[in-house]
Amino acid sequence: MPRLLTLFVAAYWTTFFAILTLAAVGEVTGEGFPALYALLSPETSPFRIPAGAPVSAMLAIGFLLVAMLFLWTLVTMLFEERQGDGDELARIALAAAAGMMTVLLALGVWSGVGDVLSAVTLQFVALLASYGATLAEAARQAARSGSEDTGTTGPARAMAIGAAHHTMLARLSRRDPSPTKRF
């Protein structure tokens, strides 16, 4: 069964970065989006960065890539066969989102947009909370499904680690490993 909270987190961030992409594309064309700016006053909007068309185009591409990563995470979580495929994608998407928020913060400070620090910091906290919720749900899902370990992989793994450790020590001391020594 797919994890519900992780699906909602991925859907939210997909939508959020898609809206940021539309805002950045509007800045490239010079039009802006009146419906988007109606929600925020244009003077204090954290989306409106007068950085020029090339920088806005780069921002639009970055936001689009992050939105596509979250969309990919959402689809993978819906149809995943193995546990963990969506978790890795979620980590990559959240890291990319944090990177784009850092770029947005740097551009906002560089271009002198007022109060960009509080807007981007709020989004960083939301990203961190999303990551924590995703990890907590993955841990809860793993605990609920129980240990799929049948008891045979634990001792085998311990023996393999012991053998590797013994071989490493033998190579470091330049002695041949003793074939008679048991672990």
- Summarised one tens digit per residue, pLDDT across range 144-159 is 776 555 556 677 778 8
pTM: 0.67
**CA-to-CA dists, residue 43 to 52, 108, 123, angstroms:** 17, 13, 20
Q: Is 95 helix (H, G, I), strand (E, B) or coil?
A: helix
* Of 147, 5, 141, 136, nearest in space to 83 by CA: 141
- Summarised one tens digit per residue, pLDDT across range 156-167 is 778 888 888 778
Residue 90 confidence (pLDDT) above 70:
yes
